[in-house]
Chain A
Amino acid sequence: MATAATAHHDEHPYGIMRWLCTTNHKDIGTLYLWFAFIMFFVGGAMAMVIRAELFQPGLQVVDPHFFNQMTTLHALVMIFGAVMPAFVGLANWQIPMMIGAPDMALPRLNNWSFWLLPFAATLLLGGLFAPGGGPAAGWTIYPPLSVQGGMGTDFTILAIHTLGISSVLGALNIIATILNMRAPGLTLMKMPLFVWTWLITAYLLLAVMPVLAGVVTMLLTDRHFGTHFFDPAGGGDPVLFQHVFWFFGHPEVYILILPAFGVISQILPTFSRKPLFGYDSMVYATGSIAFLSFVVWAHHMFTVGLPTAGELFFMYMTMLIAVPTGVKVFNWVSTMWRGSMTFETPMLFAIGFVFLFTIGGLSGLMLAIVPADFQYHDTYFVVAHFHYVLFSGSIMAIMGAVYYWLPKWTGNMYNEAQGKWHFWLTAIFFNITFFPQHFLGLAGMPRRIPDYALQFTEFNVWSSIGAFGLGLTQLLFLYIVVRTIRGGKKATDRVWEGAHGLEWTLPSPPPYHTFATPPKVD
């Protein structure tokens, strides 16, 4: 990606200063994507530690306290370090090119949004080396346990603040860009779906990141400055933390998935050679999901002892989200229906997404049923559920997006056979890892435990073997990406036969500055 732009005769500094000072959306997109990629491997390594410990009953690898740090950091790193920055990276690269803008609306802010991230990551991971180790209270950092934690918890809180500032600035920039910099004629209802989903996501970010910052600040003052927001001994309430946290946390789930919906809505029409089915209803469905995501937060808390009326309300609202989500899935399938499909790697990832994400969606519907949730809650059933929506959802969509746009970014085609290997190995190992976890949860295995009763052994062995395979497979992904950046068959401007949209009218790779004069859209 880096070499792509240098091939052109644009003015920009070289070397390290180029990356430190850059205000170019393509450079910043590249930085975000590499940062996410590195964090993906860091978080993945933690997952390997977790699966190694769970390979067999008994404690073999790490002690329980370190195990808890791994589960906590694995989640934080993957959510805030890998998935969110990856989507912002995609937005940076793609949104200006898709709407015919020369760059992001606020380029300097863009630079700062990115460069906050390495500091945040250092704080987050630095906690591991603090006395008492890293945060160990789960990524949800529920008090009172998180009040007991060592200095690593404070590091985490400050890291979350930093990440939050980065996200809010990034979101502002995306909104400003989309609302102000579209090419003439590109009305809102003509925007590519990826742009639409990001617009809505950016509003979600603006709405909830400050809430997260607020609640972790309250935690910080409870820890050090004698407040009792969450301490019953001083008139506080530990459950208050959960309400506020999940008021952030549930929209966060959609922050992690809506851009993925956008990606899939770009890829499927291209390789089906057929327009997206139900564009309008896709936009409205995205909006409804975003709206509903603010009124379902307590479905993460059915066992805390909510009043019956509250449980019913949150159950009904959560079930309702299935309607717009269903609309999306039906629209995707209809897009493929009677198309003229080919199955290049991005398409494989998109189909894999629709299939596997729907499994996660359906288990999510099961989790919404309060009486049944009393059996599922805090078990491996939930772990399986959110990996189906986050790995085979968000992460597989990101992988599909990388294969889809990498030829545009670099001017080189990736190796198709290798890409397919990557897809199939990922899909197979993913299912070996996570499908058995549904059974584990139903059979009664709680989540976040370093050791387990003997009846859970078999499925844990499967799950660990799958996880090691899944982890190794991602090295292939790294190899493919690096090789494509270095060279390969030259890509055409359009890249894919069925591709439509402004980004495909640009050369591959696009010049450092594009759309200095806006294109006309009719």
Chain B
Amino acid sequence: MFMLRLAKLRHALLRVTSAVSLFFVSTLAFAEYGFNLQPPVTPIAREILNLHNAIMIVCAVIFVIVFGAMFYAVFAHRKSRGHKASDFDESTKVEIVWTVVPFLILVGMAIPSTATLLKMDDVTESDLTIKITGYQWKWHYEYMDKGVSFFSVLATPRDEIGRPMFSSTGFKAGDAKNANYLLQVDKPLVLPVDQKIRFLVTTNDVLHAWWVPQIGIKKDGIPGFINQMWARIEQPGTYRGQCAELCGKDHGFMPIVLDAVSEQDFNAWLEQEKAMMAAAAAGADREWAKAELLEKGKETYDKVCASCHQPNGQGIAGVFPAIAGSKVATGPLDEHLHLVMAGKPGTAMQAFGPQLDDVALAAVITYQRNAFGNNTGDLVQPSRIKALRK
């Protein structure tokens, strides 16, 4: 009887504790929802984490001592407890102490920080160089001397993001979001592990910042200038980051995904990429049918142009012009070609000539001239773009 009750009690207790812990796991889940920096995967990121932890502890200790004293005073030296005020108002001795001691603590912090910084800034003797170029709102990666380069764009479906209440298109709640919501791209940056990789970062338009927390790198991309940094990734895996410098409307929507793989896999991947690029170049020489062009054009438009000109071609009043009924997209073809290839300096309309291949350019222009009610009937063949480039 007694045993039975005890068992019941234990059962109830277990239920309560598991409910409580479930609550904590789900709301405060340490594992999933970090309180601290993400786990490092490079030696530098690890040094940064240690530095951060050490400084945070020093700060916390100072804080506890100072405010321990203050709250002691708040409780003990109050008028309601009859405490009489003393009238001391200086003490050269303690004032010297609390100037000198903090200074020494700061020196103690500055030494390891300096050491780490010197290591971070040493980009010599790298095994592989990647040139990163920020665009509104995507990243371009070029594997220097390897003949491989590509764009990397957000892959989260627009339907998951939803449409806000106060927008021209009207409210639409976002669909259920996948686990990597906003942190997924169409084509990740693939890198080998255990090699010193040097990154060169710049941009084509405004400022961006390339940041992957787990490898301990954040650097601004600045048009016209090149910044350098390096990483040696120790573990294979997928690491995610984001643009960290405000770069306009879709600043929150230009993630970075990095796949670290073994050297073997990396070389195999490089070969595969080269083959794909060759195949794409060959496509420029043949004649394309209208339906084919429109299909490829819509795909390119949605991926590259829609963030500004909007999926329905209506643009955003006062900021990005509409393509539907646009004078350019329904006017002389040459001007349209020129605008898209050369862009318009000083505005967000970039030069897409260097960004897109012949097929994509021909297709997207064909699409703009025939979609959204722009029924010009014009067709642009990739060969025409190829000729224009010369």
Whether chains A and B associate is: yes
Give A contacts to B, CB under 8 Å: 53, 57-66, 68, 130-133, 136-138, 142, 144-145, 147-148, 150, 232-233, 237-239, 272-281, 303-305, 308, 311-312, 315-316, 319-320, 322-323, 326-327, 329-330, 333-334, 336-343, 351, 354-355, 358-359, 362-363, 365-366, 369-372, 374-375, 377-379, 439, 442-444, 446, 448-456, 458-459
> Residue B274 at the A interface, CB < 8 A?
no
Give the distance to chain A from B271, nearest Cβ to Cβ, in Å: 33
Q: Mark B76-88, 1 if CB is under 8 A from A, else 0.
A: 0111100111111
Give the distance to chain A from B225, nearest Cβ to Cβ, in Å: 7
Interface contact A138-B28, CB-CB below 8 Å: no
Q: Which residue in B207, B227, B242 is a CB contact (below 8 Å) of A145?
A: B207
> Residue B128 at the A interface, CB < 8 A?
no
> Residue B114 at the A interface, CB < 8 A?
yes
Interface contact B36-A377, CB-CB below 8 Å: no
The CB with the most chain A CB atoms within 10 A, among B90, B103, B118, B243, is that of B90
Within 8 A of A (CB), among B1-58: 27-29, 32-38, 44, 47-48, 51-52, 55-56
List B contacts of A354 (CB < 8 A).
Answer: 70
Per the bound structure, the CA–CA distance linking A458 and B80 in Å amounts to: 42
Interface contact A450-B252, CB-CB below 8 Å: yes
List B contacts of A351 (CB < 8 A).
Answer: 70, 74
Give the distance to chain B from A396, nearest Cβ to Cβ, in Å: 16
| Chain B interface residue count, Cβ-Cβ cutoff 8 angstroms | 111
Per the bound structure, the CA–CA distance linking A63 and B166 in Å amounts to: 7
Interface contact B66-A148, CB-CB below 8 Å: no
> Residue B279 at the A interface, CB < 8 A?
no
Across the interface, name the chain B residue whose C-beta is closest to A321: B106
**A-B complex: 3 closest residue pairs judged by Cβ atoms:** A232-B224, A449-B252, A58-B174
Q: Give chain A's interface secondary structure class.
A: helix
Interface contact B87-A274, CB-CB below 8 Å: yes
Give the distance to chain B from A270, nearest Cβ to Cβ, in Å: 11
Q: Which residue in A58, A63, A130, A137 is a CB contact (below 8 Å) of B167?
A: A63
Interface contact B245-A378, CB-CB below 8 Å: yes
Interface contact B74-A305, CB-CB below 8 Å: no
Across the interface, name the chain B residue whose C-beta is closest to A64: B249
List A contacts of B171 (CB < 8 A).
Answer: 60
Per the bound structure, the CA–CA distance linking A237 and B220 in Å amounts to: 14
Give B contacts to A, CB under 8 Å: 27-29, 32-38, 44, 47-48, 51-52, 55-56, 59, 62-63, 66-67, 69-70, 73-74, 77-80, 83-91, 94-95, 98-99, 102-103, 106, 109-110, 113-114, 116-118, 120-121, 160-167, 171, 173-174, 177, 179-183, 205-207, 209, 211, 213, 216-220, 222-225, 227-228, 240-253, 316-319, 345-348
Known contacts A369-B113, A442-B35, A451-B252, A272 near B85 by CB under 8 Å: yes
Q: Which residue in A66, A144, A456 is a CB contact (below 8 Å) of B207?
A: A144
Jot down 12 A-B pairs with beta carbons below 8 A, ordered by A. Answer: A62-B165, A142-B207, A148-B206, A233-B223, A274-B86, A277-B88, A280-B90, A326-B98, A340-B77, A341-B73, A371-B120, A375-B218
List B contacts of A333 (CB < 8 A).
Answer: 66, 69-70, 73
Known contacts A337-B69, A443-B33, A443-B38, A61 near B59 by CB under 8 Å: no
List A contacts of B160 (CB < 8 A).
Answer: 58
Interface contact A57-B106, CB-CB below 8 Å: no
List B contacts of A132 (CB < 8 A).
Answer: 318-319
Interface contact A448-B77, CB-CB below 8 Å: no
Interface contact B55-A62, CB-CB below 8 Å: no
Give the distance to chain B from A466, nearest Cβ to Cβ, in Å: 15
List B contacts of A232 (CB < 8 A).
Answer: 222-225
Interface contact A340-B220, CB-CB below 8 Å: no
Per the bound structure, the CA–CA distance linking A459 and B173 in Å amounts to: 21
Across the interface, name the chain B residue whose C-beta is closest to A365: B59
Give the distance to chain A from B264, nearest Cβ to Cβ, in Å: 30
Known contacts A337-B77, A375-B37, A275 near B89 by CB under 8 Å: yes
Interface contact B79-A340, CB-CB below 8 Å: yes
Give the distance to chain A from B307, nearest Cβ to Cβ, in Å: 10
Per the bound structure, the CA–CA distance linking A61 and B357 in Å amounts to: 37
The CB with the most chain B CB atoms within 10 A, among A131, A327, A358, A371, is that of A371
Across the interface, name the chain B residue whose C-beta is closest to A226: B346
Across the interface, name the chain A residue whose C-beta is closest to B75: A341
Per the bound structure, the CA–CA distance linking A39 and B181 in Å amounts to: 37
Give the distance to chain B from A340, nearest Cβ to Cβ, in Å: 4
List A contacts of B316 (CB < 8 A).
Answer: 63, 65
Interface contact B227-A305, CB-CB below 8 Å: yes
Give the distance to chain B from A185, nearest Cβ to Cβ, in Å: 20
Per the bound structure, the CA–CA distance linking A369 and B90 in Å amounts to: 33
Give the distance to chain A from B320, nearest Cβ to Cβ, in Å: 9
List B contacts of A453 (CB < 8 A).
Answer: 180-183, 240
Interface contact B103-A323, CB-CB below 8 Å: yes
Per the bound structure, the CA–CA distance linking A448 and B245 in Å amounts to: 8
List B contacts of A233 (CB < 8 A).
Answer: 223-224, 345
Per the bound structure, the CA–CA distance linking A130 and B318 in Å amounts to: 9
Per the bound structure, the CA–CA distance linking A315 and B118 in Å amounts to: 13
